[in-house]
Amino acid sequence: MQQRAVQLKLHEQRYWRVLLHYRKQGDGWESQIDDPDFFIALNGKTNPRDELIATVAALFGEPTVGAENPRCRYVARRAWLREQLGLPEWTTDAGECPDFEQALRWVDPQTATLVFPGSYANSPASMFGHTLLNFNGPYQSKQLAHAANYSAFTDETNGFAYAIKGITGSYPGYYSLLPYYDKIKEYNGLERRDIWEYPLRLTPEETRKMFLHLWELRNIYSDYYFFDENCSYNLLFLLEAARPDLRLTEQRPLWVMPVDTVRLVDRHDLIAEASYRPSVATLLNRQTAGLDARETVIAQKLAGGELRGRDLDAMGLGAEGEIRALEVAATAIELKFIKKDLSLADYRRRYLEILKARSTLGAGGADRHSGQKPIRPDHGHGSSRLGLGLGYTESRWVQELSFRPVNHGLLDPEDGYLPGSQIELGAFALRFNEEKRQIQLKRFQLVDIVSLAPVNAFDAPVSWLVRAGLRRQTLPEGRHLVSYLGTGGGYAWQGRWGLGYLLLETEGLYARYLKNDFAIGGGASAGYLARLGANWRMHAKVRQIRYLLGERDWSGSVELGLNLRIDRRNSLSAEVARRVDFDSWATEGMLFWYRYW
């Protein structure tokens, strides 16, 4: 049997390389699975032929009794090898592998869905979103599906430590299979993340192959890398196990964003449609937008337990007003419980009382639950951006080239992205200095994250920012590169045309041209983000920082930016700013063309 497998060159078959996660390395092959327990041959990680020989011997030699029987563990390899070697089809209900057979009956995979929980900037592990693969059984309810997940195994809560270890592959990553309703509760509630579901055009047989491969990967680790070998990339192996001619993992860019894998799958015509599941916080924001002032007060009292549902008849709201107030109160109570502001007993009592009052009012005359479905995340602009700019500052023309690897800025077209969010890592800008006839680094943004979450009558999330990097600015002894680190916190609110915010900030500068080489201070920034029509974005901002330690001085700016979306790949931007740095004033105007991919 082993000799026949070698003669057929099964180790050179595409499907064998998919099942073992082999990738070309120089003149040979190397698996991206790092756990030695995944391989049967001692050199199986780098030798597909020896791993094939050892696998055939283990699967078709003398049977092994026990939970780790190779025939019961390597079920995907077993099914494929039987087919390739012309052996009778393997039946999975013979009682030979009770654990696997029970799991297969439990999940009963019929169809599959790609799931994308959106970004959540307050969690370092979730700021770029996530992807899951759902195995759907014969049930109509999507919540009864089972979610395949790949994630780093860590309890790290320090965002900086998480980022460093994630970048360097210091965490083991594991596949897991969990009830989907648990993931909905986690993402929609605890993490305030909207969920997008993309049913896949896979046959029941292809879906079953994915599950067999997932079974082989249980309790097996591979090194987790934040930017490439991450949650999204590793799930692509499951899709290739279903349909190996996809070659999704061979199209890996330098960095793999979860939303980019959704786009990749869509380009291969695997996605049929998309459904949207808003988080509790998103739903509450939508519902409160439809309340007038009196309904808001009443809904607050209902959610706080100051008013009972049966007392609404005396309020004179009318049936529609009562429905709106009760539905908002129910959602607010749910959010209070998620935030642990309510005990389980109080939550059940208040929530059931509200639902009981609501049930007596019928469906109502307006459809309050449809809302405007947002643009799909995979239909937003690409994660990377190249910019070419021309402008005028300090009595001279300037040219600028900028590049941002990931992901989204406040002024970028917001379709498909979380409103009020900015996540930029590794972005830089080069500017041509005509006076010195040289190219200079204008800025390097190691990290620039802004999270603006609007408050409402029932929820007051904190908005915040953190930024660090290098920038060229005017100092007492001329223009030089300065290292900076800044943080801030405050609140944002939803206005008629957009989002306003006010943040208190602290900032530290380091440069040898400063007194004692540093400056540390604090101040504030305020701004307004507006969407003007379908394609225009506007950001007006004022900022002032007063440095009290080291170099004692101040800086400030008044800025206005406009962005015109041309299509998903292109936009034009105009930015005007008046700045003061250490008593030196400057006005600047720039025009940019941005290309996204």
Q: Is the pLDDT of residue 254 over 80?
A: no
Residue 295: what pLDDT?
93
Higher pLDDT, 64 or 96: 96
Task: Please determine, for residue 63, whether its predicted confidence score (pLDDT) is greater than 70.
Answer: no
Tell me the C-alpha distance between 336 and 149, whole Å: 28
Q: H helices of 89-141, where? A: 98-107
166: burial class by Cβ within 10 Å (0-12, 13-18, 19+)?
buried
Question: What pLDDT, on a 0 to 100 scale, did the predictor assign at position 56?
Answer: 95
Percent of the chain with pLDDT over 90: 70
pLDDT reading at 553 higher than 60:
yes
249 and 398 Cβ atoms separated by less than 8 Å: no
Per-residue model confidence as pLDDT tens digits over 475-489: 988 889 999 999 999
Check residue 92 and give its pLDDT.
61
What CATH topology corresponds to 379-596? Porin (2.40.160)
Residue 89 has a pLDDT of 76
Distance of CA 529 to the CA centre of its chain: 22
pLDDT at 66 over 60: no
Nearest to 53 by CA among 77, 31, 22, 83: 77
Length of the chain: 597
Measure the CA–CA gap between 355 and 349, rounded to whole angstroms: 10
Give the confidence band of 62 by pLDDT, cuts at 50, 70, 90. confident
Query: 575-589: per-residue pLDDT in tens?
Result: 999 999 998 999 999
387/402 Cα distance (integer angstroms):
5
- pTM score of the predicted model: 0.87
pLDDT at residue 125, as a whole number: 57
Q: CB under 8 Å to 447, separation ≥6 — which residues?
A: 424, 425, 466, 467, 468, 469
Q: What is the mean pLDDT of the chain?
A: 90
Rounded to an integer, the average pLDDT of 523-551 is 96
List residues bridging with 447 in a β-sheet: 425, 468
pLDDT at residue 310, as a whole number: 83
Whole-angstrom distance, CA of residue 197 vs CA of residue 378: 12
Other CB atoms within a 10 A radius of the CB of residue 291 amount to: 20
User: Which residue has better confidence, 157 or 229?
Assistant: 229
Find the mean pLDDT for residues 287-300: 91
